[in-house]
Amino acid sequence: METTPLGFELRFDHDRFLAPTDRELHGVLTVAAHAVEVPAAGGAARAPLAEVIVIDCSESMTHPRTKIAAARRAAAAAIALLPDGVRFALVEGTRTARVVYPAEPRLTTATDTTRAEARRALARLVPAGGTAIGTWLELVRELLSAHPDAIRHALLLTDGRNQHESGTRLEEVLATCAGEFVCDTRGIGDGWEPRELTRIAEVLGGTAAAVRRPDDLAADFRRTMWAALAKQVPQARLRITTVAPSRVLFCRQVHPTVLELTGVPVDHRTVDHPTGSWGTERREYHLCLSVDGTDRPRGENLLVARIDLLVGDARPARPVTVLVHWTDDLTLSSQVDPRVAHFTGQEELSQLIAAGCERYDAGDRSAAVGLLGRAVRLAAETGDSHRLAELAQLVQVVDAPAGRVRLRDDLHRLDLINVAVHSSYTRHDDAAPPLPADGPSRICGCGRESPPGARFCERCGTAFEAADGPGPDATGGPGPDATGGPGPDTAGRSEHNSAGRSGSAVAGGPGAVPT
């Protein structure tokens, strides 16, 4: 049996009690990865890292020049972290894509010499031309394809829209890159399109973030590179095997970021869902199965699915089973699992925020007010102080329970895209922050009004002298989480709002299938 440098545990939370009329079963699958001690001859060496850093060198990066200077410093900071032996390359992105280091279109090996040469190559970057992100990603895929056994990662920075190729072209490239490598995307300035970067991160299993100030870019690149270096397993996949007539409707990651997982059929009852590279971390997945209680026995547990986690040919976790118990007892069938309710609620809230930002950016302020007002009402109902603090960057709340808001007169597009990008992050319900402090709004010297309890000004990032409650970090972006990557703030989208119910199957516990 093949071994891995990580151990995994699976847990599935749902309620097995369903009414005969229920046609969907919702649950939250928790996957936790932890380090394991492997004998020297165990053969579970961690995979090497293959890294490509893509820097937008379009003409807009000269307005102001602090952007390209910050990009050079940030890329140099990331390269400085690469240990000896890591394979890497630097790519310049304009209307075309060009490897600027090494001299040949391939990856080179990190050493003191190559790291110094790469820094000198960065100093020679001169912004000119346009933006064609699909072309950039296509070159990244070609470079990383020569290293199939490595943990393949890309870090992409842009300040503009993908204006020199069609959306169809970008989607075609993303389809060819999906599952080939992980890509973290970063936007700087206020001229880029958040939907493009979040879409790239969603398809390629990475994160998207807005960097509000050029001076904060190097710290963000360092955090992102540390997170990539912490990965130990190149690819793990969830294998879901259903029992007829059940089938998988969707499986999406809901923590720490919301990512749609693409199912790869194995046979007519089994689907694999690739999850990307792993370090020591925990992720949650929202699984929805179609079920049918017609003519099914009442009063007994019935198997509808089994969930395995695979790393190559290894199964480093005990699988869990999904059981259903059809019942006519409304008291039992009406119970709602708190973890499923938590994530489906965050998905709905995030969908409202993302849609509100999109309508405002499109010039439809009336629709934006309606959507953001509904988001405020839902956030207030659930006590979600972090979402309320985010929304306070966009609107002034008149009546939170009624969802009455008005757009801020000083709303800047940088605020808009910052909130829009954060909508792909979620928080654990068991790590919910305290509610924001009561009291008057905080006024910065720049004139911007921030919510009570804010630690930093929402516009310029200046720290307030006495911060009593949670607030954004100095960049206005997500802070580092346990893996060193951007911290979660909000949730993603869902077409299904029905929740699962209470109960769980823990690997090795009730409902688990021994290996």
- Is 463 part of a structural domain of the chain? yes
- Is 509 part of a structural domain of the chain? no
- Is 125 part of a structural domain of the chain? yes
Specify whether 190 is located in the same domain as 150.
yes
Angstrom CA distances, 60 to 65, 66, 160, 190, 240, stand at 9, 11, 7, 11, 46
- Is 300 part of a structural domain of the chain? yes
Least confident of 159-173, 265-279, 453-467, 470-484: 470-484
113: how many CB neighbours lie within 10 A of its CB? Answer: 10
- Is 109 part of a structural domain of the chain? yes
pLDDT for the residue 380: 92
Please state the rounded mean pLDDT for residues 168-186: 95
Specify whether 215 is located in the same domain as 94.
yes
Last residue of a domain, one of 337, 354, 384: 337
Please state the rounded mean pLDDT for residues 228-256: 94
CATH number at residue 90: 3.40.50.410
Specify whether 278 is located in the same domain as 219.
no
Selected residue with higher pLDDT from 483 and 395 = 395
Specify whether 179 is located in the same domain as 212.
yes
Tokens coding 58: 């379009």
Percent of the chain with pLDDT over 70: 80
Least confident of 256-265, 371-380, 499-508: 499-508
Specify whether 402 is located in the same domain as 385.
yes
Q: What are the CB-based long-range contacts (under 8 Å, 24+) for 101-108?
A: 105/139, 105/142, 105/143, 106/143, 106/146, 107/50, 107/52, 107/143, 107/144, 107/146, 107/147
Specify whether 276 is located in the same domain as 370.
no
pLDDT digits (tens, 9 = 90+) for 300-351: 889 999 999 999 999 999 999 999 999 988 888 877 788 888 888 888 888 8
Q: Which domain holds residue 424?
A: 345-499
Could you tell me the pTM of the whole model? 0.77
- Is 44 part of a structural domain of the chain? no
pLDDT band at 39 (very low <50, low <70, confident <90, very high): low
Find where tokens 């395995």 sit. Answer: 308
Q: Quick one: which H or E segment has residue 382?
A: helix 365-382
Specify whether 455 is located in the same domain as 351.
yes
Specify whether 81 is located in the same domain as 110.
yes
- Is 41 part of a structural domain of the chain? no
Specify whether 463 is located in the same domain as 369.
yes
| pLDDT at 384 exceeding the cut of 80 | yes
Number of domains in the chain: 3
pLDDT for the residue 473: 36
Specify whether 185 is located in the same domain as 319.
no
Q: How far apart are CA 15 and CA 369, in angstroms?
A: 37
